[in-house]
Amino acid sequence: MSSLVDAGLTVHVQEGAGRHAYALDAAYRAAGAAVTPEDPTSESDVVVSVQPLTIDQASTLKPGAVTISFLQPANERELLEVYRDRRVTSFSFDLLPRVTRAQSADALSSQALVAGYRAVLVAAERLPRFLPMFTTAAGTVPPAKVLVLGAGVAGLQAIATARRLGAVVEAYDVRKAAGEEVRSLGAKFLELELETQSGVYASVQSEEFLERQRELIGDHVAASDVVITTAAIPGRKAPVLVTTDMLKAMAPGSVVVDLAAESGGNYAGSVAGQETWVGDVLVHGALNLPSSMPVHASKLYSRNVLNLLKLMIADGAVAPDLSDEVLDGCCLTHDGQIRKESP
């Protein structure tokens, strides 16, 4: 906040906006912002939010206004049309290019860090057994077995957290390079007889590949007490990695936390925001897990927003230059045009 004020911008915050993240109105005022009792959207040149604006809010924006938020074009066609018609320039963190210059603004990664950590705590709370090994006078309690599918930012944080809690952890990712990162955290990397990817980020796979993948990971799912799935591709439906038959083969009381539930789920039966029993196995369809850890999720997100805004600020004003590859890559609407269609 103070960095934006120092850059010459006037910042308005809606009263109570930070309450759930324990950021009080007094703290915003101390940082130089003006706290307003009404929604300042219609009077603002730049509107920053976490979730996309509502249609009603978007309909009040000034022509030429700038918005920054998470916004998946596949899910928000009507909103994009409002932005287009009002000649709003909108940016989405969901489409931020995966280039070095953009890393400090990568809100998907920062929130995935929070989600991966939180996913293990959700699983541990619901699992009817210990995660670590205990040696007691009554006998030895073996450690729980955790399987993490997907070793991106969320997956790696889930691995690290499960290991800290004493679980035995296995992980799989289609990217061979992820194996070194998984092993560095003390987990076993599953080497499946499948074609691997060489890129930094996972890409879409064919249904034939996914079918073979499911065949090979089935036994590992069945042997696990906890499965955490993290495979998601921005703007697309999540790949199905886990089947009902796999869940039925798991021990009673096992837990699956599906971080991809909001985009269709790595288990097709996942419902975002709900818990579903498949036989005696609990499936937790994760919904906005970072919001359950609002303090650090908000601090990380605010830094991402600031770093993206820095690319647009010139002489005390926000003036996006779309010749910049980072801004061009995540700009959805500009000058009366929808620039990025749904995949």
| Ranges assigned E (strand) in 12-117 | 12-14, 34-36, 46-48, 66-69, 89-92
Find out whether 116 and 155 touch, Cβ atoms under 8 Å.
Answer: yes
What's the rounded Cα separation, in Å, for the pair 61 and 45?
8
What's the residue count for the chain? Answer: 343
Q: DSSP secondary-structure letter at 144?
A: P
What's the rounded Cα separation, in Å, for the pair 256 and 159?
14
Find out whether 294 and 22 touch, Cβ atoms under 8 Å.
Answer: yes
Q: DSSP secondary-structure letter at 87?
A: T
Take residue 233 and report the two structure tokens written for it. Answer: 């591709």
Q: Please, what's the largest Cα pairwise distance for the chain?
A: 72
Residues marked active site are found at: 98, 103, 106, 109, 201
Find out whether 87 and 61 touch, Cβ atoms under 8 Å.
Answer: no
| Ranges assigned E (strand) in the chain | 12-14, 34-36, 46-48, 66-69, 89-92, 134-136, 139-141, 145-149, 168-172, 188-189, 226-229, 255-258, 275-278, 281-285, 313-314, 317-318, 331-334, 337-338
310: which strand partners?
A: none
